Amino acid sequence: MKKRVLLFVSIVSLSLTFNSCSKDDDNGSSTSGNIAGKWIYLKQGEIVGGEEVLYPYENSCSSENDFTQIYSNGTLRDVYYNSTCSESIDNATWTRSGNMITVSYGPGESSTSEIIELTSTKLKVKYYDEVDEIYYLTEFLRD
């Protein structure tokens, strides 16, 4: 369940970054750029004592990578694989306001995340979990 929440948060955060720019800044910590595309889960973690603590993302399937596909029409697909490599897909819609992105999977199932970094190859998002009272981070690699 926690992995699904982290995936959900990551997807929401990914969607935030959809705004297109004429160019991406791969050398800085830009937060605007083209978010449309396929994003592979790379790292996840949290903020502890004001410091980012990130770990490699662990896919449940040894032969497939979990990913989020973000479409420019405001929809997205969150695809993940269980330990038997069976695919599970969650469809959602997303909207962006500044560096905040909201992903909605249906009535009462939405989440808002903040884009920390967006380049042509990397996306990092932050999500506050009110239940755990902690900020979670997810980093993606563009496929």
Domains along the sequence of the chain with CATH: 37-142 (2.40.128.280)
* Residue 21 pLDDT greater than 90, yes or no: no
Residue 62: predicted pLDDT: 95
The structure tokens listed for 94 are: 């997303």
Query: Are 116 and 137 contacting, i.e. CB atoms less than 8 angstroms apart?
Result: yes
Residue 107: predicted pLDDT: 87
Residue 64: predicted pLDDT: 97
CB proximity list for 118: less than 8 A, separation 6 or greater = 17, 24, 30, 31, 32, 33, 35, 124
Handedness of CA 41, 29, 12, 68 (dihedral sign): negative
Enumerate the β-bridge partners of residue 133.
none
Average pLDDT, the chain: 84
What pTM, to 2 d.p., does this model score? 0.77
Higher pLDDT, 18 or 47: 47
Distance CA 37, CA 108 (A): 26
Residue 103: predicted pLDDT: 95
Segment 122-143 mean pLDDT:
94
Higher pLDDT, 36 or 33: 36
Going by pLDDT thresholds of 50, 70 and 90, the confidence category of residue 34 is confident
Segment 85-95 mean pLDDT:
96
With a pLDDT cut of 90, the percent of the chain lying above it is: 67
Segment 60-71 mean pLDDT:
97
* Strand intervals (E) in the chain: 37-48, 51-56, 67-70, 75-81, 87-97, 100-106, 109-118, 122-129, 134-142
